[in-house]
């Protein structure tokens, strides 16, 4: 600084004497660091005599700027360059290592004038000079050259400004540090260090030191905001198709084939008498991942039977099912939907009726079966059909195509009850 001043005094009476003004020490003349855009000529204080040419992408310290001229330091030399030839560069924020000797030199030479020392663990702005073992550093008003090995990467943490009136950001970790600006309440900041009650923070707008107790830890919802482009997926609509009275030698295998085509699972309420007749077909149904329910042995109206007869209908059917698939049935459905409290109390598995009767057993019309499904279907529907009618097998492809198109997932009754 002294050298610049004396140089300038010589040109005091030139028309450029106003350059003096920014050099008077005041808070406004905080040095900045910039970069040369091209070959830049460095002039002496007369602005006439060329000192040297600074190569492109060189880091220079700007002490002041007036009328399109910048008063700069470049490595070991001081002088003036046209402001249009230099540009602002973003600093790196680094922590001053505890193990370092963070001496700030006037020039990029260890025997040059010592301008000051950086506080250990403080966060400073550094600008790397590729060809040099020195970095240009700025800490408040202190700018100069420091050996690169004095710095470490700081750890970053997110904080929120908690003070109602906001917090003051300063150049240095001190209540007398020059004011950079103010951050309003609830501003999210990146915190780089905590130094004796002061923390260094950065935001898009500014960087500097604030008092640590002016910040609070981000609450978890703010720290990990949920991505909004993909909101929570729409809950799947579920439907359970049920087929009663089988298995049937011809129809059941066709139905299995169509279910497989649509990757649909269904529930088969079988008659024990048919399970005994077609155990192989029932095993195929079971192996394909469908659920097997008990529909009595002889399709009896249980409400017309005594307790023992009811028990026999249930047990005999269960035995035939177990003989075919090696497992017990997991559901029960009474023929004709005819049941009462006494019958229910004899069951060891859920008693399942239906919410949609396709009346496929009555009209034998695939079109009407599809229509009945489409009119009544909603999330959670249990649809009644029979795998003993060819017309039901004929309707199934269009029923499944329609349900899939409407976004339904076809699941077993037990799956449906779980959700
Ligand atoms: Ni039935």
Say how many Å lie between the CA of residue 245 and the centre of ligand 1: 5
Three-class secondary structure of residue 120 per DSSP: coil
Per the residue annotation, which of 244, 245, 318, 387 is the catalytic one?
A: 244
Tell me whether residue 295 is one of the annotated catalytic residues. no
Q: Who contacts 170 (Cβ-Cβ below 8 Å, separation ≥6)?
A: 177, 178, 179, 180, 208, 209, 210
Q: Which of 231-240, 246-255, 297-306 has the lowest mean pLDDT?
A: 231-240
Nearest alpha-carbon partner for 159 in 207, 197, 212, 206: 212
Taking the C-alpha atoms of residue 342 and residue 302, their distance in angstroms, rounded to an integer, is 10
Chain length of the chain: 419
Tens-place pLDDT, residues 15-52: 343 433 333 333 345 678 888 988 999 999 889 999 99
User: Which among 63, 290, 295, 386 is annotated as catalytic?
Assistant: 386
pTM, full prediction: 0.47
Q: What is the mean pLDDT of residues 203-207?
A: 85
Rounded to the nearest angstrom, the distance between the alpha carbon of 299 and the centre of ligand 1 is: 6
The pLDDT of 196-204, averaged and rounded, is 85
Distance 396 CA to ligand 1 centre (A): 18
Exposure class string for 364-379: b at 16+ Cβ within 10 A, else e: ebbebbbbbbeeebee
**Is 244 part of the annotated catalytic residue set?**
yes
Q: In which residue are the tokens 């155990």 written?
A: 279
Q: What are the strands, taking DSSP E only, across 221-279? A: 237-244, 266-270
Decide if 214 contacts 161 (C-beta within 8 A). Answer: yes
Give the separation between CA 213 and CA 91, rounded to whole angstroms. Answer: 26
Ligand 1 centre and the CA of 271: distance in Å? 8
Would you state the pLDDT for residue 398?
97
| Residue 385 to residue 35: CA distance in whole angstroms | 80
Tokens of 54: 């600074």
Q: Tell me which of 409 and 418 has the higher pLDDT.
A: 409
- 220: its two tokens: 């978890």
């Amino acid at each position: 600084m002294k050298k610049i001043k004396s140089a300038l005094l010589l040109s005091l009476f030139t028309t450029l004497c106003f350059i003096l003004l920014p050099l008077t020490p005041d808070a406004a003349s905080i040095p900045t660091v910039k970069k040369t855009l091209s070959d830049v000529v460095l002039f002496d204080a007369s602005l006439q005599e060329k000192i040297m040419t600074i190569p492109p992408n060189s880091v220079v310290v700007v002490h002041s700027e007036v009328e399109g001229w910048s008063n700069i330091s470049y490595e070991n030399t001081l002088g003036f360059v046209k402001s249009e030839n230099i540009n602002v560069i973003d600093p790196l924020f680094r922590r001053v290592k505890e193990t370092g000797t963070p001496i700030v030199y006037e020039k990029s030479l260890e025997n040059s004038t010592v301008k000051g020392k950086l506080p250990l663990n403080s966060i400073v702005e550094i600008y790397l000079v590729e060809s040099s073992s020195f970095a240009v550093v700025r800490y408040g008003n202190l700018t100069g050259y420091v050996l690169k090995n004095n710095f470490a990467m700081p750890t970053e943490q997110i904080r929120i400004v908690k003070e109602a009136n906001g917090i003051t950001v300063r150049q240095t970790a001190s209540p007398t540090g020059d004011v950079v600006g103010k951050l309003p309440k609830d501003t999210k900041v990146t915190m780089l260090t905590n130094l004796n009650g002061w923390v260094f923070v950065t935001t898009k707008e500014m960087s500097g030191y604030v008092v640590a107790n002016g910040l609070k830890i981000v609450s978890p919802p703010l720290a990990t905001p949920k991505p909004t482009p993909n909101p929570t997926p729409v809950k799947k609509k579920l439907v359970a198709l049920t087929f009663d009275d089988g298995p049937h030698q011809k129809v059941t295998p066709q139905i299995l084939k169509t279910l497989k085509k649509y990757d649909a699972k269904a529930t088969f309420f079988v008659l024990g008498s048919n399970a005994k007749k077609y155990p192989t077909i029932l095993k195929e149904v079971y192996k394909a991942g469908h659920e097997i329910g008990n529909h009595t042995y002889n399709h009896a109206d249980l409400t017309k039977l005594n307790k023992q007869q009811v028990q026999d209908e249930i047990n005999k059917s269960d035995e035939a099912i177990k003989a075919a698939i090696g497992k017990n049935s997991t559901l029960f459905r009474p023929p004709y939907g005819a049941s009462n409290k006494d019958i229910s109390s004899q069951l060891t598995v859920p008693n399942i009726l239906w919410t949609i009767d396709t009346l496929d057993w009555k009209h034998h019309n695939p079109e009407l079966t599809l229509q009945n499904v489409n009119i009544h279907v909603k999330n959670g529907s249990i649809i009644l059909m029979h795998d003993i009618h060819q017309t039901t097998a004929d309707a199934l492809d269009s029923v499944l195509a329609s349900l899939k198109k409407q976004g339904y997932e076809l699941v077993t009754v037990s799956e449906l009850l779980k959700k």
